[in-house]
């Protein structure tokens, strides 16, 4: 079982999709229960992006589309920290 399949099994209510986005700055996003992951990134980045979006799905209940909003910036920072913690717990890897 791949690392991404482990995450898919943990969150069966979510659907994970690979999309081709040539920008190295785009990693992924979530819309409802669909998680979109940039297939041009590395395997580890797919996992980290998936976990990051799962954190948003699990804990964020507001519109985070305004990237300049303090609320959005705080939510993004927390999602990064929480997804890193879950990544280490699930896969016992250290960055």
**pLDDT tens-digit series, residues 41-65:** 999 999 999 999 999 999 887 777 7
Residues forming beta bridges with residue 15, ordered by sequence position: 34
Q: Count of residues for the chain?
A: 95
Among the residue ranges 16-30, 45-59, 66-80, the one predicted with the least confidence is: 66-80
Domain region containing 27: 3-91
Report residue 29: phi and psi, to 5°.
-160, 170
Q: Report whether 7 contacts 51 (CB < 8 A).
A: yes
Q: Report whether 30 contacts 53 (CB < 8 A).
A: yes
Q: How many domains does the chain have?
A: 1
Token reading at 62: 């507001």
Among the residue ranges 17-21, 64-68, 81-85, 90-94, the one predicted with the least confidence is: 90-94
Kindly indicate the confidence band of residue 25, based on its pLDDT and cuts at 50, 70 and 90: very high
Give 62 or 90, the one with higher predicted confidence: 90
d(CA 33, CA 11): 10
Q: Is 87 left (phi over 0), alpha (psi -120 to 50) or beta?
A: alpha
Task: State the CATH number of the domain containing residue 86.
Answer: 1.10.10
Q: Identify the pLDDT of residue 93.
A: 58
């Amino acid at each position: 079982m791949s690392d991404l399949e482990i995450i898919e099994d943990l969150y069966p209510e979510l659907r994970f999709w690979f999309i081709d986005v040539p920008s190295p700055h785009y990693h992924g996003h979530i819309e409802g229960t669909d998680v979109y992951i940039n297939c041009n990134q590395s395997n580890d980045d797919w996992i980290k992006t998936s976990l990051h979006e799962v954190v948003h799905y699990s804990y964020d209940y507001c519109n985070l589309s305004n990237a300049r909003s303090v609320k959005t910036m705080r939510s993004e920072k927390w999602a990064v920290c929480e997804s890193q913690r879950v990544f280490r717990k699930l896969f016992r890897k250290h960055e």
